[in-house]
Amino acid sequence: MTADELTGRMLVLEVIAMASLGLYLANSKNDPDMGKARALLDFLRKMIADKAIELKESQRPEALRYSDDLLSQVLENLKALRGNA
């Protein structure tokens, strides 16, 4: 697989994953204070950090930064959808 093919696939995966996670959280009606959503996002952060240990040391900070950016954006989008922004 070429670098261009890999980049294209990553873009598609990111969009699908972010949309799916956002829709799941937006439809969680029994979570008025977003506690469950926050717990899920924190759990995902921990899973990513645990998995990032397998990366090269030079790659790890970028993976963690990127995951934090994406998961923070999901939470901000959820707040905006619920009028809590």
User: For residue 76, what are the contacts with CB-CB under 8 A and spacing of at least 6?
Assistant: 85
Give tens-digit pLDDT for 21-33. 988 888 877 888 8
Q: How confident is the model at residue 61 (pLDDT cuts 50, 70, 90)?
A: very high
Task: Report the pLDDT value the prediction gives residue 9, as an integer from 0 to 100.
Answer: 86
Q: What are phi and psi of 32, to 5 degrees?
A: -60, -35
- Of residues 82 and 50, which shows the higher confidence score? 50
What is the domain partition of the chain in residue ranges? 3-81
Asked if residue 82 has pLDDT above 90, the reply is no
Q: Are 71 and 45 in contact (CB under 8 A)?
A: yes
pTM of the predicted structure, to 2 decimals: 0.79
